[in-house]
Amino acid sequence: MSDTHTTKGISQNGTNSRSGVKTSEKSSKVKEVLEDYRLAVISREVSYLGRKETLTGKAKFGIFGDGKELPQIAMAKQFKEGDFRSGYYRDQTFMLAIGELTVRQFFAQLYAHPDTKADPNSGGRQMNAHFSTHSLNRDGSWKDLTSQKNSSPDISPTAGQMSRLLGLAEASKVYRNEEVLNEDRFKKFSNNGNEIAWGTIGDASTSEGVFWETVNAAGVLQVPMVLSVWDDGYGISVPRKLQTTKASISEALSGMQRTSKKEGIEILTVKGWDYSGLLDTYEKAEEIARNEHIPVLIHVQEVTQPQGHSTSGSHERYKSDERLEWEDKYCCVSQMRKWILKEGYVDARELDDIEEEAKQHVKSEQKAAWKAFTGEIKAEQNQVVEILDKMISASANAKALKAIKREMNVPTVTLRRHVMTGVRKALRVTRNENLKSRQELLNWLDDSKKENYNRYHSHLYSESDDSPLNVPVVEPIYSDNAEEVDGRILLRDNFDKLFEKYPEVLVFGEDSGKLGDVNKGLEGLQDKFGDIRVADTGIREATILGQGIGLALRGLRPITEIQYLDYLLYCFQGLSDDLATLHYRSAGYQKAPVIVRTRGHRLEGIWHTGSPMGMIINGIRGVHVCVPRNLTEAAGMYNTLLRGDDPALVIEPLNAYRLKEKIPDNLGEFTVPLGIPNIIREGTDITIVSYGSTLNICKFVLSELEQVDISAELIDVRTLLPFDRNQLIVDSLKKTNRILFVDEDVPGGASAYMMQKVLQEQDGYFYLDSEPTCLTAKAHRGAYGSDGDYFSKPNAEDIFEAVYEIMNEANPAKYPAIY
C-alpha cells in the first residue's frame, strides 16, 4: 500500500517543499514527532471531510475516529508483523499508521465502492471504518500472515469483536506450546507464538456481557492480548456513570489485576491527549504481552469525540457547554500541537504548513476516490443511454422511453441502482416489441447481472477448490466381522484418527477435556493429545465460539463444543453476525473454518428439548448446518468438513450415543457429502422428508405403513445448509406425487423451509396430487418427562396418521378414515 504518512507538498525524502527545511537535519525524535502529528492531522481531516460527504448525500452513513488519533498512533508503533487486530469502527488512525489503509481507500469505502482494488477492506460491502486485511490469495489459499500486519474483519454489533479477540490471542499460545505445529506448513501462521492480538473497544461497550466474558477468559487462559478501551465519557448520549460501576472500567476490573502471587491481567491507565504518556504506556503493554504472554488492558481516559457519535445526530443535544468547552481544550490533536511548541521542536509556521498540506492531501484523495466511484457508474450509464437512444428512435413507446432516460439523470448522485431501474423499466415498456436494440439491452442486463453477482453476492461460502462441497465421497468400509459398538465409541475413535491426521485440529468446551464431553465422545483424548488440543473451558458459550473464530483466522482448525443445542442461543449473536458473514464481508479475503459441535433433539424438558432449526438456518447463512441421524453420519461429516475450508454447525442426535452402530475400517477417511440427501427406503405412494432423531422415528414407522399397504419413500436430508443440491427430493416427488415433511421444530420452522425449497425452488408444486403437509412439534417447548415428549413432539403415531390421512384423501376406499 502507499505511504499514508506522505502528504501533498511533502517529498519522500522528508523535505518540506514549502519551508525548504530538511527533516533529516532534525533529530530523529523530532522527525518522528512531526510524522506522528502529520498523521494525526490527516486522520482528523478525514473525519471532518467524511462527515461533510455524508451530510451532503454522497454517502449513506458516516462514523469516524476523531478524538482517538494519538492513542492509536502509539498503539501502531508497537504493532508488529504477524500481530492481529480485532477492533471496531473508530480505528482509522491505527489502520493508516500501520500502512494498511490509505485516505483514498477510506473514502472508497465511505461511498460503498464495490471493488476490492478501491476498497480492499470489504469491496464496498461494509459501511465506512470497518477494516480488514487480506489473509487469503484470490484462490483462497493462505498468505504468509507472519510477514504482514493483520486485521480481522470488523463488525458493527457492540462489543462483538471481543470474543474473536480471545481466539486470536490464544492462537499464539497454541503455536508456542504445541510441538506438532513445528512443521514448515505452519510457519506462515506464527513465529513461535510471538504475536499479540490487539483489541479496541469504546468504554460504553464494556457494559456488554461478551466484554466481561472475554476479559475473564483471557485472565484464565493467560494469552498475549492488549485491549484498549477508548473512554470518551459517553455511550452515544448516556454518560459513563450510568454505564460502569465506579464510573471507571479500570477500577471495576481492579480485582483482576495480577499480583506477584496470583495470575490475572495487567491494567494500565493513560490520558488520551498525553502523547508522551501514551508512547510509554503502549511500549510497556507490548513488552508485557509479548514477553510474558499475558493479557493487558489499557484504559485510555479523557478521550474526546469532536463530532459526536456519528452522522446520525449531534452531540450538542446531550453534552453541556462546559463539557463541550473541555473537549475543545483537551482535543488530542490540539494538545499535541501545544506540546510540540512547548518543547520547542518547531515553530507555529511549520505546524501550520503541515496542517494545510494535510488538508489538501485529504481533499485530493477524496476527490480521486469519488471520481473512481462515480466514473464506473457513469460509464455504465452512458452505455445504457446509447442503447436507449436507439430504442427511442425505433420504438412505438418512444415517449415512455424518453421519460425513463430523463429519470436516470434526475438523482443528484447517480448510483448503479438508478441505471438498473431504467434498464428494467425500458424492457418492461417494450415487452411487446421485437427491436434489435431491445435485444442489445437484454444482453447488457445479462452481463451486468454477472458483474453485480460478483460485486454483491459472492463468497457467502467458500469458492475455492477446498470448498467442502468439492470433497469426494468416500463410503465407509466394513469388514465382514465389523464390531457393533455404542455410537459414542465410533465417534470417539473417529476423532482420534482426525487428531492424528491433522495436528492443527483442537477441540474445547465445557467438560470436553478431562471428562471427554458429557457423552464421552472424546473420552481419553486429552490424555493422548494434551490439554491444549483437548481442553476444558468455563461456562461461557459466547467466548467458546469466539475462541474458535480467532483460532481459525490464524490457520488452526478448532472444533468448538457447545454442550447442548439449547445453549447455542448464548453464542448465536457471534454465529450470526460474525462467523456467518466473515467470508462474505471480507469479500472472500479471510476465512474462519470453525466447526461448532453440539448435540440435541428429543431430550426431555423445556431447557434441553429445543430444536430451533428455523431460527438457526435463517440466522447463520454462510455456515453449513449438518443434522446427522446417527453418529456414523456425524463422523463422516466431520471428516468432510476438515478437508474443506468453510465453517459448519454439526448437531449430533442425543439419543444416538448408546445405540449400536457398526464401526467402519476407514475411520477418519470416509466422508458424507454436504447437501446430498440419502434415500433410506424407496417407495411409490408418498415421500417422507426428515432429518436427525425424527428421521429415525419415521424409519421405525415404515414397517407399520407397509402393514396397511402404504409404500413410503423416506429421505434423510442430512444437511439443511446446503439443502438437496441435486434436487433428489423433487425426483422422488415426481414418482410419488405426495409429500410429508417431518421435524421437531416449531410450526413454520425448518419444515416450512424444506417445503419452500422443494415446492418452489425445485418446482415440486407441479407434481402434487395431494396437499403437501408439514408435521412439526407444538409451538411450545417440550414438556418434561417421556409423556411430555410424546405430547409435545411428533411421535410414531403422529407420523403414521399424518401419512395415512394423506392417503385417505387420495383413496378413501382403500384407506378408510381412522377417526
Give the bridge partners for 26, in sequence order: none
Q: Burial level of 224, CB count in 10 A (0-12/13-18/19+)?
A: buried
Helix (H, G, I), strand (E, B) or coil at 748: coil
CA angle at residue 796 from 793 to 800, to 5 degrees? 115
Sequence letter at residue 326:
W
Tally of CB atoms within 10 A around 255: 7
Helix (H, G, I), strand (E, B) or coil at 151: strand
| pLDDT score at 15 | 38
CA nearest to 361, candidates 18, 89, 117: 18
CA nearest to 526, candidates 538, 514, 511, 517: 514
pLDDT, one tens digit per residue, over 211-266 is 999 999 999 999 999 999 999 988 888 888 999 999 999 999 999 999 999 999 99
Peptide bond just before 722 cis, omega within 30 deg: yes
| pLDDT score at 27 | 85
Cell numbers at residue 272, please? 488520551
CA nearest to 740, candidates 765, 770, 773: 773
- Strand ranges inside 171-319, DSSP E: 197-202, 225-230, 234-235, 238-239, 266-271, 296-301
Distances (CA, A) of 354 to 5, 36, 95, 688: 11, 11, 20, 73
Low-confidence ranges of the chain (pLDDT < 70): 1-26, 312-313
Cα gap 227→817, rounded to integer Å: 68
Which residues are designated catalytic?
608
Residue tagged 499514508 (cell numbers): 4
CA nearest to 64, candidates 232, 285, 274: 232
CA angle at residue 540 from 198 to 588, to 5 degrees? 50
Would you state the torsion angle of the CA atoms of residues 612, 615, 621, 627, taken in this order, to the nearest 10 degrees?
10
Contacts of range 142-145, beta carbons closer than 8 Å, 24 or more positions apart: 142/188, 142/189, 142/555, 143/188, 144/188, 145/82, 145/188, 145/189, 145/190, 145/554, 145/555
Distances (CA, A) of 623 to 159, 468, 577, 596, 720: 22, 11, 11, 10, 10
| pLDDT score at 14 | 37
CA nearest to 380, candidates 332, 416, 343, 342: 416
Cα gap 76→86, rounded to integer Å: 13
| pLDDT score at 26 | 60
The pTM for the full model equals 0.94
Sequence letter at residue 163:
S
Residue tagged 425505433 (cell numbers): 394
Q: Burial level of 441, CB count in 10 A (0-12/13-18/19+)?
A: buried
| pLDDT score at 775 | 98
Cα gap 238→258, rounded to integer Å: 31
Whole-angstrom distance between the N-terminal and C-terminal Cα of the chain? 75
Chain centre distance of CA 819:
51
| pLDDT score at 20 | 44
Whether residue 303 contacts residue 272, with contact meaning beta carbons closer than 8 Å, is answered with yes
Whether residue 773 contacts residue 806, with contact meaning beta carbons closer than 8 Å, is answered with yes
Cell numbers at residue 736, please? 410419488
Cα gap 191→287, rounded to integer Å: 16
